Amino acid sequence: MTEQENVTPIEEAKADEDSLLPLGEHVEEVSENGRQVRRRGVYLLPNLFTTAAMFCGFYAIIASINGKFEAAAIAIFFAMFFDGLDGRIARLTNTQSAFGMEYDSLSDMVSFGVAPALVSFNWALHSLGKVGWSAAFIYATCAALRLARFNTQVETTDKNYFTGLASPPAAAIIAGTVWLGQEAEITLMLAIFMAIATVAAGILMVTNIRYYSFKGIDFKGRVPFAMIFAAVFLFALVLINPPFILLCMAMTYALSGPVYSLWCHLRGAKNTP
Protein backbone atom coordinates (compact mmCIF):
# COMPACT_ATOMS: atom_id res chain seq x y z
CA MET A 1 0.00 0.00 0.00
CA THR A 2 1.44 3.36 -1.01
CA GLU A 3 1.73 6.35 1.30
CA GLN A 4 -1.09 8.10 -0.56
CA GLU A 5 -3.42 5.14 0.01
CA ASN A 6 -2.84 5.47 3.79
CA VAL A 7 -4.47 8.91 3.81
CA THR A 8 -7.95 8.78 5.34
CA PRO A 9 -10.91 10.55 3.70
CA ILE A 10 -11.03 13.03 6.62
CA GLU A 11 -7.34 13.89 6.20
CA GLU A 12 -7.83 14.22 2.44
CA ALA A 13 -10.77 16.59 2.99
CA LYS A 14 -8.72 18.68 5.40
CA ALA A 15 -5.87 18.86 2.89
CA ASP A 16 -8.26 19.97 0.15
CA GLU A 17 -9.75 22.60 2.48
CA ASP A 18 -6.28 23.90 3.43
CA SER A 19 -5.28 24.19 -0.23
CA LEU A 20 -8.14 26.66 -0.76
CA LEU A 21 -7.07 28.96 2.08
CA PRO A 22 -5.56 32.37 1.31
CA LEU A 23 -1.77 32.54 1.22
CA GLY A 24 -0.33 32.66 4.74
CA GLU A 25 -3.58 31.69 6.51
CA HIS A 26 -3.14 29.58 9.64
CA VAL A 27 -5.49 26.76 10.65
CA GLU A 28 -5.27 25.20 14.09
CA GLU A 29 -7.18 22.42 15.81
CA VAL A 30 -8.45 23.47 19.24
CA SER A 31 -10.55 21.81 21.91
CA GLU A 32 -13.97 23.36 22.47
CA ASN A 33 -16.61 21.73 24.69
CA GLY A 34 -14.75 18.44 24.66
CA ARG A 35 -14.35 18.13 20.89
CA GLN A 36 -11.66 19.10 18.41
CA VAL A 37 -12.58 21.87 15.96
CA ARG A 38 -10.54 23.71 13.32
CA ARG A 39 -10.15 27.46 13.64
CA ARG A 40 -8.59 29.90 11.20
CA GLY A 41 -6.28 32.77 12.11
CA VAL A 42 -4.31 33.64 15.25
CA TYR A 43 -5.04 35.71 18.35
CA LEU A 44 -3.86 39.28 17.85
CA LEU A 45 -3.27 40.71 21.34
CA PRO A 46 -0.85 38.17 22.91
CA ASN A 47 1.07 37.75 19.64
CA LEU A 48 1.54 41.52 19.38
CA PHE A 49 3.37 41.46 22.72
CA THR A 50 5.42 38.47 21.55
CA THR A 51 6.37 40.41 18.42
CA ALA A 52 7.32 43.42 20.53
CA ALA A 53 9.58 41.21 22.66
CA MET A 54 11.28 39.81 19.56
CA PHE A 55 11.70 43.32 18.12
CA CYS A 56 13.47 44.40 21.32
CA GLY A 57 15.82 41.43 21.08
CA PHE A 58 16.56 42.19 17.42
CA TYR A 59 17.14 45.85 18.26
CA ALA A 60 19.58 44.82 21.01
CA ILE A 61 21.65 42.93 18.45
CA ILE A 62 21.75 45.89 16.06
CA ALA A 63 22.53 48.35 18.88
CA SER A 64 25.43 46.23 20.14
CA ILE A 65 26.88 45.99 16.63
CA ASN A 66 26.83 49.80 16.51
CA GLY A 67 28.49 50.04 19.92
CA LYS A 68 25.37 51.27 21.76
CA PHE A 69 25.63 48.80 24.63
CA GLU A 70 23.46 50.68 27.11
CA ALA A 71 20.60 50.76 24.59
CA ALA A 72 21.18 47.07 23.82
CA ALA A 73 20.97 46.08 27.48
CA ILE A 74 17.86 48.18 28.09
CA ALA A 75 16.22 46.62 25.02
CA ILE A 76 16.73 43.13 26.48
CA PHE A 77 15.01 44.22 29.71
CA PHE A 78 12.13 45.62 27.67
CA ALA A 79 11.95 42.26 25.89
CA MET A 80 11.57 40.64 29.31
CA PHE A 81 8.73 43.01 30.10
CA PHE A 82 6.81 42.20 26.91
CA ASP A 83 7.56 38.49 27.22
CA GLY A 84 6.11 38.49 30.72
CA LEU A 85 2.93 40.13 29.46
CA ASP A 86 2.12 37.96 26.44
CA GLY A 87 1.59 34.74 28.36
CA ARG A 88 -0.35 36.34 31.19
CA ILE A 89 -2.56 38.27 28.77
CA ALA A 90 -3.24 35.07 26.85
CA ARG A 91 -4.29 33.32 30.07
CA LEU A 92 -6.37 36.26 31.33
CA THR A 93 -8.20 36.61 28.00
CA ASN A 94 -8.36 32.85 27.33
CA THR A 95 -6.46 33.26 24.05
CA GLN A 96 -3.82 30.54 24.50
CA SER A 97 -2.93 28.59 21.39
CA ALA A 98 -0.30 26.17 20.10
CA PHE A 99 0.75 28.80 17.57
CA GLY A 100 1.25 31.37 20.33
CA MET A 101 3.36 28.97 22.39
CA GLU A 102 5.65 28.13 19.47
CA TYR A 103 5.90 31.78 18.41
CA ASP A 104 6.77 32.78 21.98
CA SER A 105 9.49 30.14 22.09
CA LEU A 106 11.07 31.42 18.88
CA SER A 107 10.85 34.98 20.17
CA ASP A 108 12.58 33.90 23.39
CA MET A 109 15.40 32.36 21.39
CA VAL A 110 16.02 35.66 19.63
CA SER A 111 15.59 37.94 22.66
CA PHE A 112 17.09 35.79 25.43
CA GLY A 113 19.33 33.41 23.51
CA VAL A 114 20.96 35.06 20.50
CA ALA A 115 20.70 38.72 21.60
CA PRO A 116 22.46 38.37 25.01
CA ALA A 117 25.16 36.18 23.47
CA LEU A 118 25.93 38.72 20.75
CA VAL A 119 25.67 41.71 23.09
CA SER A 120 28.13 40.02 25.45
CA PHE A 121 30.45 39.16 22.58
CA ASN A 122 30.38 42.61 21.00
CA TRP A 123 30.99 44.28 24.36
CA ALA A 124 33.80 42.24 25.89
CA LEU A 125 34.13 38.66 24.67
CA HIS A 126 35.51 39.62 21.25
CA SER A 127 38.78 40.54 22.94
CA LEU A 128 39.27 36.86 23.89
CA GLY A 129 39.18 35.66 20.28
CA LYS A 130 37.97 32.10 19.83
CA VAL A 131 37.45 31.66 23.57
CA GLY A 132 35.09 34.63 23.52
CA TRP A 133 32.89 33.47 20.70
CA SER A 134 32.92 29.94 22.13
CA ALA A 135 31.55 31.29 25.41
CA ALA A 136 28.84 33.22 23.53
CA PHE A 137 28.00 30.12 21.48
CA ILE A 138 27.71 27.97 24.62
CA TYR A 139 25.21 30.42 26.07
CA ALA A 140 23.11 30.57 22.88
CA THR A 141 23.12 26.77 22.56
CA CYS A 142 22.10 26.29 26.21
CA ALA A 143 19.22 28.74 25.68
CA ALA A 144 18.04 26.70 22.68
CA LEU A 145 18.31 23.44 24.65
CA ARG A 146 16.46 25.02 27.59
CA LEU A 147 13.59 26.16 25.39
CA ALA A 148 13.39 22.82 23.55
CA ARG A 149 13.24 20.91 26.85
CA PHE A 150 10.61 23.28 28.22
CA ASN A 151 8.40 22.82 25.13
CA THR A 152 8.55 19.02 25.36
CA GLN A 153 7.79 18.95 29.10
CA VAL A 154 5.27 21.80 29.34
CA GLU A 155 2.29 19.43 29.74
CA THR A 156 3.88 17.15 32.35
CA THR A 157 5.88 19.38 34.70
CA ASP A 158 4.74 21.36 37.75
CA LYS A 159 3.81 24.80 36.43
CA ASN A 160 4.87 26.42 39.72
CA TYR A 161 8.51 25.53 39.05
CA PHE A 162 10.98 25.73 36.16
CA THR A 163 13.53 23.01 35.52
CA GLY A 164 16.71 25.00 35.07
CA LEU A 165 17.08 28.76 35.05
CA ALA A 166 14.57 30.37 32.68
CA SER A 167 16.08 32.20 29.71
CA PRO A 168 14.80 35.72 30.65
CA PRO A 169 16.62 35.92 34.02
CA ALA A 170 19.69 34.36 32.38
CA ALA A 171 19.56 37.13 29.79
CA ALA A 172 19.08 39.67 32.60
CA ILE A 173 22.43 38.61 34.10
CA ILE A 174 24.18 39.31 30.79
CA ALA A 175 22.28 42.52 30.06
CA GLY A 176 22.65 43.84 33.61
CA THR A 177 26.41 43.24 33.60
CA VAL A 178 26.82 44.96 30.24
CA TRP A 179 24.63 47.89 31.30
CA LEU A 180 26.46 48.33 34.59
CA GLY A 181 29.91 48.22 33.02
CA GLN A 182 29.24 49.63 29.56
CA GLU A 183 31.51 52.63 30.19
CA ALA A 184 34.33 50.58 31.74
CA GLU A 185 37.57 49.88 29.92
CA ILE A 186 37.59 46.34 28.56
CA THR A 187 40.55 44.66 30.25
CA LEU A 188 41.60 41.02 30.06
CA MET A 189 40.25 40.34 33.55
CA LEU A 190 36.89 41.92 32.73
CA ALA A 191 36.62 39.89 29.52
CA ILE A 192 37.45 36.67 31.41
CA PHE A 193 34.86 37.52 34.08
CA MET A 194 32.26 38.13 31.36
CA ALA A 195 33.11 34.82 29.70
CA ILE A 196 32.67 32.96 33.01
CA ALA A 197 29.38 34.75 33.73
CA THR A 198 28.08 34.02 30.22
CA VAL A 199 28.94 30.31 30.39
CA ALA A 200 27.62 30.00 33.95
CA ALA A 201 24.29 31.57 32.99
CA GLY A 202 24.07 29.15 30.07
CA ILE A 203 24.86 26.09 32.18
CA LEU A 204 22.27 27.05 34.80
CA MET A 205 19.62 26.95 32.05
CA VAL A 206 20.26 23.27 31.25
CA THR A 207 20.62 21.97 34.80
CA ASN A 208 17.85 20.10 36.63
CA ILE A 209 17.80 22.71 39.41
CA ARG A 210 14.25 23.85 40.20
CA TYR A 211 13.29 27.53 40.24
CA TYR A 212 10.02 29.04 41.40
CA SER A 213 8.09 30.24 38.33
CA PHE A 214 5.75 32.81 39.98
CA LYS A 215 2.97 31.48 37.72
CA GLY A 216 0.86 30.67 40.76
CA ILE A 217 0.37 34.35 41.58
CA ASP A 218 -3.25 35.37 41.06
CA PHE A 219 -3.22 38.84 39.49
CA LYS A 220 -7.02 38.95 39.39
CA GLY A 221 -7.53 38.30 43.10
CA ARG A 222 -7.39 40.70 46.04
CA VAL A 223 -4.13 41.23 47.89
CA PRO A 224 -3.25 42.97 51.18
CA PHE A 225 -2.81 46.74 50.93
CA ALA A 226 0.84 46.31 51.96
CA MET A 227 1.53 44.49 48.67
CA ILE A 228 0.82 47.66 46.70
CA PHE A 229 3.19 49.61 48.94
CA ALA A 230 5.84 46.92 48.45
CA ALA A 231 5.45 47.22 44.66
CA VAL A 232 5.86 51.00 44.86
CA PHE A 233 8.95 50.57 47.05
CA LEU A 234 10.42 48.10 44.54
CA PHE A 235 9.92 50.53 41.64
CA ALA A 236 11.52 53.32 43.65
CA LEU A 237 14.45 51.07 44.51
CA VAL A 238 15.03 50.20 40.86
CA LEU A 239 14.97 53.90 39.89
CA ILE A 240 17.87 54.67 42.24
CA ASN A 241 20.32 52.64 40.14
CA PRO A 242 18.55 50.55 37.48
CA PRO A 243 21.49 48.47 36.14
CA PHE A 244 22.82 47.58 39.61
CA ILE A 245 19.44 46.78 41.17
CA LEU A 246 18.23 44.76 38.19
CA LEU A 247 21.49 42.82 38.07
CA CYS A 248 21.24 42.11 41.81
CA MET A 249 17.67 40.88 41.35
CA ALA A 250 18.69 38.60 38.46
CA MET A 251 21.68 37.23 40.39
CA THR A 252 19.56 36.63 43.50
CA TYR A 253 17.02 34.65 41.48
CA ALA A 254 19.76 32.71 39.66
CA LEU A 255 21.38 31.73 42.97
CA SER A 256 18.08 30.91 44.67
CA GLY A 257 17.79 27.61 42.81
CA PRO A 258 21.21 26.16 43.74
CA VAL A 259 20.94 27.45 47.32
CA TYR A 260 17.49 25.90 47.79
CA SER A 261 18.63 22.62 46.21
CA LEU A 262 21.67 22.50 48.50
CA TRP A 263 19.51 23.25 51.54
CA CYS A 264 17.10 20.43 50.63
CA HIS A 265 20.02 18.05 50.10
CA LEU A 266 21.57 18.90 53.48
CA ARG A 267 18.21 18.62 55.23
CA GLY A 268 17.61 15.23 53.61
CA ALA A 269 21.07 14.02 54.59
CA LYS A 270 20.52 15.19 58.16
CA ASN A 271 17.22 13.33 58.42
CA THR A 272 18.69 10.13 56.99
CA PRO A 273 19.53 7.66 59.80
Give the torsion sign (CA, 60, 64, 69, 70).
negative
Mind listing the pLDDT tens digit for each residue in 45-96?
A: 888 999 999 999 999 999 999 999 999 999 999 999 999 888 888 877 877 7
In the chain, the domains with their CATH numbers are 44-271 (1.20.120.1760)
The better pLDDT of the pair 132, 264 is held by 132
Residue 27 has pLDDT above 90, yes or no: no
Whether pLDDT at 191 is above 70:
yes
**pLDDT tier for residue 220 given thresholds of 50, 70 and 90:** low
For the CA atoms of 151, 154, 159, 165, what is the dihedral angle to 10 degrees?
-30
pLDDT of residue 88: 81
Q: What is the pLDDT of residue 6?
A: 58
Of 165 and 183, the structure prediction assigns the larger pLDDT to 165
Q: Which of 241, 112, 250 is nearest to 180 (CA)?
A: 241
Say what the pLDDT of residue 83 is: 92
165 Cβ neighbours under 8 A, 6+ residues apart? 146, 201, 204, 205, 207, 209, 211, 254, 257
Which pLDDT band holds residue 213 (cuts at 50, 70, 90)? Answer: confident
pTM higher than 0.85 for the full model? no
Per-residue model confidence (pLDDT) at position 167: 94
